[in-house]
Amino acid sequence: MATEKAYKLLALQKGISNNKAKELIDKGLVYVGDQKVKIARAEIADDTKFRVEKLEDIKVIFEDDYILAINKPAFMDSYDVQDNIFGATLLHRLDRETSGILLFGKDEAWTAKAIEAFRQRQVEKEYVAWVEGVVYEEKDIDMPISTHKHNGKAFSKVDPNKGKPARTRIKPLEIQGKKSKIDIEIGTGRTHQIRVHLAHIGHPVVGDEFYGSRTKSKRILLHAKRIAILGYDLEAPEPADIQKYK
């Protein structure tokens, strides 16, 4: 059977450039049946039919002279969002597959205060996720995290010796079969903190194969629900895949 590199075959089928095809695969938007295509250069049968998921639109949650809050769709990089917003400064970031509230500063003096508030941990951040297993009770996870780079990708782990302080609080909201929907509050903002902490206690986020989830999902089922900063208290509506599992 003849084969071709996945990105070249996708480009041919969709009438797009090779670079655009690679980008779609790297963003996790390309599927064969229910299986995500993960490696753009993988050899694949040349009669393979691809399905490309569409990104949802960026929606504005709130805007005034100082702040812009948007509901970031899953599969969109925070910096790609920034490139589409003129005259505003990105205040923090979300992982590409994480949906939810993303803040931009519009006024220079206010933005400086907001950046300092993030640095001083004076920001309340609340998430919601579906996780593996049954979560029965509230739990505080206070475990240091260290972050490393490998092949240009960040990887974090619980590291009692060299890690930086990290605190996560979880509360069960709903149980479906052997999956739980939980509310999450974080007191720190370490790289992949929520994902690492939940994996460490045996409840990785559904779809997070990188940190141990065994459940196939279109994305990591994590949503940044709420942020409170400098007198603002803003919330991003849950997308359909977070509102109800399956």
Whether 159 is catalytic is no
Cα(229)–Cα(8) distance, rounded to whole angstroms?
Answer: 46
Structure token pair of residue 217: 């999902």
Taking CA atoms, 231 is separated from 18, 52, 94, 103, 162, in Å, by: 47, 41, 22, 14, 35
Query: What per-residue string of b and e applies to 222-245 under the rule 16 or more CB within 10 Å gives b?
Result: bbbbbbebeeeebbbebbebbeeb
Enumerate the β-bridge partners of residue 235: 226
Among residues 46, 80, 95, 241, the one annotated as catalytic is 95
For strand 124-132 and strand 99-105, is the pairing parallel, antiparallel, or unpaired?
Answer: unpaired
Cα(107)–Cα(77) distance, rounded to whole angstroms?
Answer: 23
Catalytic residues: 95
